[in-house]
Amino acid sequence: MIKIVNMKIAKDIVLLQLQDDETKYFEALWEIPEGVTYNSYVIIGDGDVIVIDGWKIGFGDVFVDEVKRVVDLKSIKAVVVHHMEPDHSGSLKTLLSNLSSDTRVFGHQLVKDMLQSFYGIKPNFVPVTDGMKANVAGKTLRFFHTPWLHWPDTIVSILDGKVLFSCDIFGSYGIPSALFFEDLSPSDQEKFIWYAKKYFANIIGKYVSWVLKGLEKLSSIGLDSIEIVAPAHGPLRRNVKTMATLYNRWARGDAEKGKVVVLYMSMYGFIEKAIRILIDELQKAGAKIKIHRFVDKYRSSISDMLGDLIDAESFVIATPTYDADVFPFAMLLLNVIISKIPKNKKVLIVSNFGWGPVAGKKIAEMLKTAGFTIVDVVEFRGGNVEDVLPRLREGAVKLLQST
């Protein structure tokens, strides 16, 4: 059920949060049973008002009703678009239709054409440049371009040097029980770190080199004065350095020692039999194992799989050959892994076949070309797992060896 939070987070800032537990696949792709929030902010200045971002497309009327509960619409003099994806800009057309045509819309230059193509609107648009300051309602907003986090138009802004509106950056999945991360229970904090890591892997993982550039830019302008981090998804934060540190680790692919992700597909149980042997060997060696399986009666979450892979030291991909080629679902997983995951991981490939050994070699070539380190390719025919028992044991050792 959709819920709304309308609450003051500072003397002059109101959070408008739509809590969405009905969307099961974020971007129609990533599994999110934990739900997600869309966070907008209303800044109340000297008689005038600034609206920061909005809600997902389809909630425009509800959004405007909530804004009305906070301020007179006539007092809104500026709207900031940090990122044009419709989970943030989807309420913009409805909002602007209720405002004066003089209301300024701030955003990256790329936003201007997207406003027309997405929603057929041509507002009083003000393109922002990197480091630019805007004085509205007695407040000062300073804008910084953070491209590819995760669209080329993405910007962040800092209000009066104290509040960082970070849009998708430092966001997370999940519907928090408190507005601020620091006010959550220790167990919920741990949960929301996982939701943030999973969100990072799904949404921002493709652009890790840009993450490091963006962090460097934010660090150069000084984060010590930031008192509130106000993202577009998930809980707000009082400590920006915590998330900056985590983003740095995730972008570099820093590994948890001994963490191995095992992901496998098994049509008729042959691969699963091999994987059970391999997992037993890994456990004997003290590995920290995360298992994601895709079989005839169960499928793991791809979004969770990516979240686990971000800080894994190594991973196993096991799949049958199918139609003398790579198993189709394995191709899907490989494509998202290559796109989203840092390449400083060791990989063991396990495959079986009926006619000929094809899948293992193709997968190895794909992953090697992408930059992963292949420790071995273990292939067996049909259900003859016993033929490769020594290879499976050797593979477990290779995965856990220090490089």
Query: What is the full DSSP assignment across 210-242?
Result: HHHHHHHHHHHH-STT--EEEESSS-BBS-HHH
Q: Which of 198, 220, 252 is the last residue of a domain?
A: 252
Task: Write the CA distances from 183 to 4, 358, 382, integer angstroms.
Answer: 19, 53, 54
pLDDT (tens digit, 9 = 90+) per residue, 273-330?
999 999 999 999 999 999 999 999 999 999 999 999 999 999 999 999 999 999 999 9
State the number of CA atoms in the 13 A half-sphere of 284 facing the CB.
10
Mean pLDDT, residues 369-396 = 95
245 shares its domain with 293: no
208 pLDDT band (50/70/90 cuts)? Answer: very high
211 shares its domain with 272: no
SS3 for 22? coil
Mean pLDDT, residues 390-403 = 89
Q: Strand 76-80: give its sheet, edge to edge.
A: 3-10, 13-20, 36-44, 49-52, 76-80, 104-107, 124-127
Residue 403 lies in a domain: no
135 shares its domain with 263: no
Rounded to 10°, the helix 208-221/240-252 angle is 150
Mean pLDDT, residues 6-12 = 96
215 shares its domain with 198: yes
pTM over 0.75: yes
pLDDT (tens digit, 9 = 90+) per residue, 67-86?
999 999 999 999 999 999 99
Q: How far apart are CA 255 and CA 373, in angstroms?
A: 14
156 shares its domain with 208: yes
Residue 218 lies in a domain: yes
SS3 for 14? strand
62 shares its domain with 121: yes
Residue appearing with tokens 């009327």: 61
What is the pLDDT at residue 198? 98
What is the pLDDT at residue 158? 97
Residue 334 tokens, joined: 């490989």
Contact, 42 vs 53, CB < 8 A?
A: no
In this predicted structure, which of 18-22, 352-356, 372-376 has the lowest mean pLDDT? 352-356
Mean pLDDT, residues 376-384 = 95
% the chain with pLDDT above 70: 100
Task: Write the CA distances from 264 to 178, 270, 327, 351, integer angstroms.
Answer: 37, 11, 11, 9
Number of domains observed in the structure of the chain? 2
221 pLDDT band (50/70/90 cuts)? Answer: confident
Among candidate residues 383, 68, 90, 83, the one with its CA nearest the CA of residue 207: 83
Contact, 391 vs 378, CB < 8 A?
A: yes
Among candidate residues 284, 292, 288, the one with its CA nearest the CA of residue 262: 292
Computed over every residue of the chain, the mean pLDDT equals 96
Q: How far apart are CA 322 and CA 254, in angstroms?
A: 34
Residue 167 lies in a domain: yes
401 pLDDT band (50/70/90 cuts)? Answer: confident
222 pLDDT band (50/70/90 cuts)? Answer: confident
Bridge partner residues of 12 (DSSP) = none
153 shares its domain with 264: no
What is the pLDDT at residue 223? 84
Residue 239 has pLDDT above 90, yes or no: yes
Residue 292 lies in a domain: yes
Q: How far apart are CA 368 and CA 345, in angstroms?
A: 11
Q: Which domain holds residue 142?
A: 3-252
Contact, 260 vs 203, CB < 8 A?
A: no
pLDDT (tens digit, 9 = 90+) per residue, 146-175?
999 999 999 999 999 999 999 999 999 999
Q: How far apart are CA 168 and CA 234, in angstroms?
A: 10
Residue 162 lies in a domain: yes
Mean pLDDT, residues 259-268 = 97
Q: How far apart are CA 314 and CA 74, in angstroms?
A: 56
pLDDT (tens digit, 9 = 90+) per residue, 316-362?
999 999 999 999 999 999 999 999 999 999 999 999 999 889 999 99
What is the pLDDT at residue 115? 97
What is the pLDDT at residue 220? 87
239 shares its domain with 340: no
Q: Which of 252, 272, 287 is the last residue of a domain?
A: 252
307 shares its domain with 378: yes
Q: Where are the beta strands (DSSP E) in 61-191?
A: 76-80, 104-107, 124-127, 133-136, 139-145, 155-159, 163-167
Residue 403 has pLDDT above 60, yes or no: no
Q: Where are the beta strands (DSSP E) in 273-324?
A: 288-295, 314-322
The CATH number assigned to the domain holding 30 equals: 3.60.15.10
336 shares its domain with 232: no
Task: Write the CA distances from 244 to 168, 211, 363, 385, integer angstroms.
Answer: 13, 10, 34, 46
Q: How far apart are CA 363 and CA 279, in angstroms?
A: 21
What is the pLDDT at residue 136? 92
Q: How far is CA 236 from the centre of its chain?
A: 16
364 pLDDT band (50/70/90 cuts)? Answer: very high
103 shares its domain with 216: yes
Residue 402 has pLDDT above 80, yes or no: no
Rounded to 10°, the helix 328-340/302-310 angle is 40
Q: Which of 199, 228, 252 is the last residue of a domain?
A: 252
The CATH number assigned to the domain holding 326 equals: 3.40.50.360
10 shares its domain with 59: yes
Residue 123 lies in a domain: yes
